[in-house]
A and B are shown apart, each in its own frame.
Chain A
Amino acid sequence: MPLIDRNGTIAEQWTREPGATAGHLIVPLEALAETLATRRNDQRIGVSLANTAVVSDLADVLGRVALIAIAFPAYNDGRGFTLAKRLRRAGFTGRLRATGPLIADQFAYALSCGFDEIELPEALAARQPVAHWLKAAQSFSAVYQRGYEGKSSILDQRRTAAASQHD
């Protein structure tokens, strides 16, 4: 399925087919322990999570997977944003993927909450071409929040501006 990151379309290097001979493997949480034990040497493992997953239950998973895919059952279900934020806070530094029918106008939010990439259903990606996503991600040149990824915070810019006035 189509995959985009902050720079545009990217090639899929992951598969959800356990029997696949090439590519890195994403498995559900239940299958993770066994998959890690039996993987090929060069194979990286990712885990897919429902947006109701509890971060404290995943403590020993975070350091062992290279990718976490969080499911968005619908664009208007914002739980995935909070889960991403909590995973980053818990120290997860691998690839974070949002999977599901998000819309272009959520791209900036997803990146801010710590996602790296979005995996879209085919039909939706056909309707909302990648150019729309890249443009939507640039809608705002700065944001009002602090502590989120990417965009510069207006509060910090104000502080910098005030400090330089005092110099």
Chain B
Amino acid sequence: MYRYDEFDARFVRERVAQFRDQVARRLDGSITEDEFKPLRLKNGLYLQLHAYMLRIAIPYGTLSSRQMRQLALIGDRFDKGYGHFTTRQNLQFNWPKLKDVPEILDLLADVEMHAIQTSGNCIRNVTADHFAGVAADELEDPRPVAELIRQWSTAHPEFSYLPRKFKVAVSGAAEDRAVILAHDIGIRIVRHEQTGEIGYRIIVGGGMGRTPMIGKVVRAFLPKADLLAYLEAIMRVYNAEGRRDNKYKARVKILVHETGAEEFTRRVEEEFAALDGPSINADPAELARIAAYFAAPDYADLEPFSAPLDRQKKANPEFAAFVESNSFAHRQPGYTALTVSLKPIGGIPGDATGDQMRALADIAEQWSFSELRVTHQQNIVLPNIRLDDLFDVWKALRTADLATANVGLITDIIACPGLDYCALATARSIPIAQSISNRFADPVRQKLIGELGIKISGCINACGHHHMGHIGILGLEKSGQESYQITLGGDATDKAAIGERLGPGLGADEVPDAIETIVGVYLGNREASEPFINTYRRIGIAPFRAAFAKVEETSDAAH
């Protein structure tokens, strides 16, 4: 894991001091609330429906046991004993008091953490594949370059007052687990077809929100050394030309769309050609310095197969089901990357109590080289578990109520905080997730249904990534009532697709039945063990619409 050097440590302390001073100037009236707003947002502090919310950066989702314990302590001391992991691999505390925030920031700085640029119209916390460094299908670990970008984008003098927020994601694997096609900039680590050199594919203009777009490739291959100058060129074109007349048209996806991908690319390349690259780019030695922190841990030399694990699975079907749904192929023989679901049946997606965070920290310390990951699916990964240790890990997780065996299944639901917390929300998300989760609680049935991702957003801003859910649910407000719009066929992988609308909006209590109907059509049409998304691609939306319309009719007749 990356560790701060003297420069990083000093920078973060200076940022805390700066924020303390900004709060003081707000309180003495020398800056107005309007002027203070971007300053607090750039430090992750939102004013929500009931209280302030502090969003803490977990760069590219990687954190240590020590950091996780500190988050638990902050949750216990300044929140209500829990924290909420988000779809951007961050952590949110929903109940801090403004006067306590500088102290919380000091506690974060003690463990090399911060809340810098987790909000505001600036370059946000950089995200990456949560299996970075351990995935078997990886070309190169994306975290060193993500860390380089984190540093470069921090308090950027030119790009801190952008037209709108700006999100960067990096993936280094064959399968895209970082949703890079739905980010303002997506970076894919690729090998040059002719030369074999490793570099970056640069994708710009993806995004969700009210106008979902798939990003466009602006540079198929960028040499590694040119990265920061190229990013500067993209940002400069966007900062100068991105729309500022309408906040809903201000993201770079709209600029790319309205300018045309070809012309946008031409402008970026023109700007890039005019730059003095060597004066901007990081020395390759700097990337190497960062990369050294992400060197593989001291793995044991193991057989790829574990006889004890096999015996334990045979003796304990519940454990076997857990291993099957929650483990992921590791590049190192004898290890697995284990996902810990934060989606217990009927629970709040992404929430963890202080005790659970401490349990995760302890488990990671004992069995996973003290390292944890946060996924954009709002789960936690223990990236380096020995197959021989899985049974002990499972028992420890079970004690902490963290052994739900539903990763990738229908109850592994992504949901934004929605109207229960968020000032932007138009409808609740959490209760919808809970009612679906309760409806499909039966583990046998979940397994029968197989891989199916439900994603719920409580407003058009799409923090719950509903556009890219196999089943997406968008909560809106229609004449004073919550109304839920369902989309089908979204996909967040390298086959990225935006879901198609199924039909008219539904009331909250009708949603679980609608999901039943959709699942029914799928099970009735699937071939062999085909997952939902494949069946959907094969048969299209029509059979789902037909079944949905029939349900609508019956429900109308009953009213």
Query: Interface residues, chain A, CB within 8 Å of chain B?
Result: 75-79, 81-83, 85-86, 89, 103-106, 108-110, 112-113, 127-129, 132, 135-136, 139-148, 154-155, 157-159, 162
Contact = CB atoms under 8 A, between A and B. Distances in A.
A127 B155 contact: no
Interface in B18-38: 18, 21-22, 25, 29-32, 35, 38
B423 interface: no
A145 B281 contact: no
A72 B153 CA distance: 22
Contacts, number: 117
Most buried by B among A78, A127, A143: A78
A57 B364 CA distance: 59
Most buried by B among A76, A132, A162: A76
Contacts of A85: 158, 236
B154 interface: yes
Contacts of B39: 105
Most buried by B among A89, A108, A135, A147: A147
A154 B7 contact: yes
Interface of B: 5, 7-8, 10-11, 14-15, 17-18, 21-22, 25, 29-32, 35, 38-39, 121, 151-162, 228, 232, 236, 239-240, 244, 274, 276, 279-283, 285-286, 289
B279 A155 contact: no
Given A81-B157, A83-B240, A128-B30, A75 B18 contact: no
Most buried by A among B17, B155, B240: B240
Ranked 10 nearest A-B pairs via Cβ: A78-B161, A112-B157, A109-B157, A147-B280, A139-B18, A154-B7, A144-B151, A147-B279, A81-B158, A82-B239
20 contacts: A77-B161, A77-B244, A79-B244, A81-B158, A82-B239, A103-B35, A105-B39, A106-B161, A112-B158, A135-B21, A140-B14, A142-B10, A143-B155, A146-B279, A146-B282, A147-B276, A148-B158, A158-B289, A159-B286, A162-B285
Contacts of B121: 76
Contacts of A159: 283, 285-286
A76 B39 CA distance: 11
Given A75-B161, A159-B286, A140 B280 contact: no
Contacts of B244: 77, 79
A81 B239 contact: yes
A104 B7 CA distance: 24
A152 to B, nearest CB: 10
Contacts of B22: 105
Given A83-B240, A129-B30, A78 B158 contact: yes
B30 A127 contact: yes
Given A109-B157, A143-B157, A155 B282 contact: yes
Contacts of B158: 78, 81-82, 85, 109, 112-113, 148
Nearest to B235: A82
Contacts of B14: 139-141
B157 A140 contact: no
A141 B151 CA distance: 15
A135 to B, nearest CB: 7
A53 to B, nearest CB: 10
Nearest to B276: A147
A140 B11 CA distance: 7
Nearest to B154: A144
Nearest to B279: A147
Nearest to A73: B244
A106 B160 CA distance: 9
Contacts of B18: 105, 136, 139-140
A132 B152 contact: no
Contact of B157 (A104, A108, A142): A108
Nearest to A159: B283
Given A75-B161, A157-B7, 5 more contacts: A77-B244, A105-B18, A143-B157, A145-B280, A146-B281
A78 B35 contact: no
A140 to B, nearest CB: 5
A75 to B, nearest CB: 7
Contacts of B7: 142, 154, 157-158
Contacts of B25: 104, 128, 132
A49 to B, nearest CB: 13
Contacts of A139: 14-15, 17-18, 21
A110 B157 CA distance: 7
B461 to A, nearest CB: 19
A73 to B, nearest CB: 9
B236 A155 contact: no
B31 A128 contact: yes
Nearest to A72: B161
A162 B286 CA distance: 10
A158 B286 contact: yes
Contact of A141 (B10, B228, B239, B289): B10
A36 to B, nearest CB: 27
B156 A145 contact: yes
A112 B151 CA distance: 17
A60 to B, nearest CB: 18
A142 B156 CA distance: 12
A76 B157 CA distance: 13
A155 B35 contact: no
A81 B30 CA distance: 24
Contacts of B232: 147
Contacts of A78: 158-162, 239
A96 to B, nearest CB: 14
B340 to A, nearest CB: 33
A100 to B, nearest CB: 12
Contacts of B280: 145-147
B31 A142 contact: no
A76 B120 CA distance: 10
A87 to B, nearest CB: 12
A154 B21 contact: no
Contacts of A129: 30
